[in-house]
Amino acid sequence: MRGQIGLEQIVTTILFISIVGYVFFRVFSYEPLFISNIERENLLSYAYQVSEILLKDPGYPTNWDEEYVLNGIESVKRIGLVEESLNKSNLLSFEKMGNLSEICTANYNYLKKIFGNNDITIIFLDERGNYIFDACKPPRLPPSNSINITRIFSYKIGNQRMIGKMIIGVWET
Amino acid sequence: MKGQISMVELVAAVGILFIALNVFFPSISEKSKREKALIKMLERDLLISLDRNGSFYETSLNESWIGKGGKAGAIFFEAGIKKDLGFWIRYLSKNEFKGEKRVQNTITKFIPVFCNCTDLQLKFLQTHASKLIINGREVSISYEAISLDKVKTILEFSDVLIIWNDKPLDEYRNLLLKYLKSGRGIVKISDITSPLDSTTKEIFGVQYLGLSTKETNTSFVYPKSIEDTSYFFTKYFFKVPLMINGSYYGNVPIENGIPSCTNSYNGTFDFRDKSFKFWICNKKVYFDTDGNGLADKIVNEREKFQLDNFNFSINYVKKESIYMVFRDTYNFTNIIGPSRTEALDENNVILYLGNYVGTNKKVPVLTLNKSLGKAIWMVNVGRNGVENIKDDETRLIVTAILSSLGLYKDLKGYNVKTSYIDVENLDMYEVYQVDFGMSHVI
Same domain, B100 and B249: no
The ipTM assigned to this model is: 0.84
At B353, give phi and psi (nearest 5°): -120, 70
We report the CATH number of the domain holding residue B377 as: 3.40.50.880
Residues B298 and B153 in one domain: no
Q: Is the predicted pLDDT of residue B349 greater than 50, yes or no? A: yes
Average pLDDT in chain B:
86
How many Å lie between the alpha carbon of A75 and the closest alpha carbon of chain B? Answer: 29
Of B295, B326, B357, the position where a domain reaches its end is: B326
B349: in domain: yes
Residue B415 distance to chain A (closest CA, Å): 19
Model pTM? 0.82
Touching check for A14 and chain B: CB below 8 Å? Answer: no
8 Å CB contact between B368 and B205: no
SS (H, E, C) B292-356: CCCECEEEECCCEEEECCEEEEEEEECCCEEEEEECCCCCCECCCCCCCEEECCHHHEEEEEEEC
Query: Which pLDDT belongs to residue B263?
Result: 93
Between CA A89 and CA A93, with CA A91 as vertex, the angle to 5 degrees is: 125
pLDDT 10s digits, B256-310 = 889 989 999 999 999 999 999 999 999 999 999 999 999 999 999 999 999 999 9
Instruction: For residues B419 and B391, state if they share a domain.
Output: no
Residue B97 inside a domain? The answer is yes
- Mean pLDDT, to the nearest integer, of A31-55? 86
Looking at the domain assignment, is residue B25 inside a domain?
no
Strand partners, B377: B188, B367
pLDDT band with cut points at 50, 70 and 90 for residue A24: confident
Q: Which of A43, A154, A162 to mutate to test the interface with B (most CBs of B within 10 A)?
A: A154
Residue ranges of B 51-70 with Cβ closer than 8 A to chain A: 52-55
- B393 and B368 inside one domain: yes
Mutation target to probe the A interface, by most A beta carbons within 10 A, among B10, B45, B68 is B45
**Sequence-distant (≥ 6) Cβ neighbours of residue B153 within 8 angstroms:** B114, B146
Domain match, B144 and B212 both? yes
Nearest CA in chain A to B24: A23
| CA neighbours closer than 13 Å in the CB half-sphere of residue B65 | 23
How confident is the model over A117-166, as pLDDT tens digits?
A: 888 989 898 877 788 888 888 887 777 778 888 898 999 888 888 888 89
Q: Is residue B265 domain-shared with residue B216, that is, in the same domain?
A: no
Residues B209 and B273 in one domain: no
Indicate yes or no: CB of A154 within 8 angstroms of CB of B52. Answer: yes
Q: Is A38 on the interface with B (CB under 8 A)?
A: no
B130 and B218 in a single domain? The answer is yes
> In this predicted structure, which of A47-51, A143-147, B313-317, B378-382 has the lowest mean pLDDT?
A143-147
Q: Does B222 score more than 50 pLDDT? A: yes
β-pairing, A91-92 vs B160-163, is unpaired
- pLDDT(A3) > 70: no
Tell me the per-residue pLDDT of B151-196, one tens digit each, with 9 for 90 and over: 666 777 889 999 999 999 999 999 999 999 988 999 999 999 999 9
Q: Is B71 exposed, middle or buried (0-12, 13-18, 19+ CB in 10 A)?
A: buried
Rounded distance, CA B400 to CA A71, Å? 66
Q: Is residue B11 one of the residues assigned to a domain?
A: no
Within 8 A of A26 by CB-CB distance, chain B residues are 25, 27
Q: How many CB atoms lie within 10 A of CB B106?
A: 21
Residues B426 and B322 both lie in one domain: no
Q: How many domains does chain B have?
A: 3
Query: Which among B34, B46, B91 has the least Cβ separation from residue A44?
Result: B34
Residues across chain B: 442
The answer, for A91 touching chain B at a CB cutoff of 8 Å, is yes
Contact list, A8 vs chain B (CB under 8 Å): 4-5, 10
Residues in chain A, total: 173
Q: What is the pLDDT of residue B81?
A: 30
In a domain, B128, yes or no: yes
pLDDT at position B91: 41
Answer whether residue B12 is part of any domain: no
> How high is the pLDDT of residue B325?
96
With bands split at pLDDT 50, 70 and 90, how would you rate the model's confidence at B97?
low
Q: Are B269 and B309 within one domain?
A: yes
Which of A1-15, A33-47, B227-241, B410-424 has the least mean pLDDT?
Answer: A1-15
Closest CA to A55 of A164, A158, A148: A164
Domain termination site, one of B326, B355, B383: B326
Predicted pLDDT of residue B63 = 58
- List the Cα angle A109/A110/A113 in 5-degree steps: 90
Is 50 exceeded by the pLDDT of residue B323? yes
The parent domain of residue B167 ranges over: 110-229+335-403
pLDDT at A56: 96
Write the pLDDT tens digit of every residue in A74-125: 999 999 999 999 999 999 999 999 999 999 888 888 888 888 888 898 989 8
Q: Please count the CA atoms within 13 angstroms of the CA of B321 that sit on its side-chain side.
A: 13
Looking at beta carbons, which residues of chain A come within 8 Å of B55?
161
The residue among B326, B355, B379 that closes a domain is B326
Closest CA to B415 of B31, B43, B29, B30: B43
Residues contacting B329, CB < 8 A, separation 6+: B220, B310, B311
pLDDT in tens, B27-83: 666 677 777 888 888 889 988 998 998 888 888 876 555 544 455 555 554 333 333
Residues B224 and B201 in one domain: yes
Summarize the confidence of residues B115-129 as an average pLDDT. 96
Between B6 and B89, the higher pLDDT residue: B6
What are the boundaries of each domain within chain A?
Answer: 10-171
Residue B10 lies in a domain: no
From the CA of B432, how many Å to the nearest CA of chain A?
A: 22
What pLDDT is recorded for position B380? 96
> Is pLDDT above 70 for B93?
no
Whole-angstrom distance between the N-terminal and C-terminal Cα of chain A?
64
Looking at the structure, tell me whether residues B213 and B341 fall in a common domain: yes
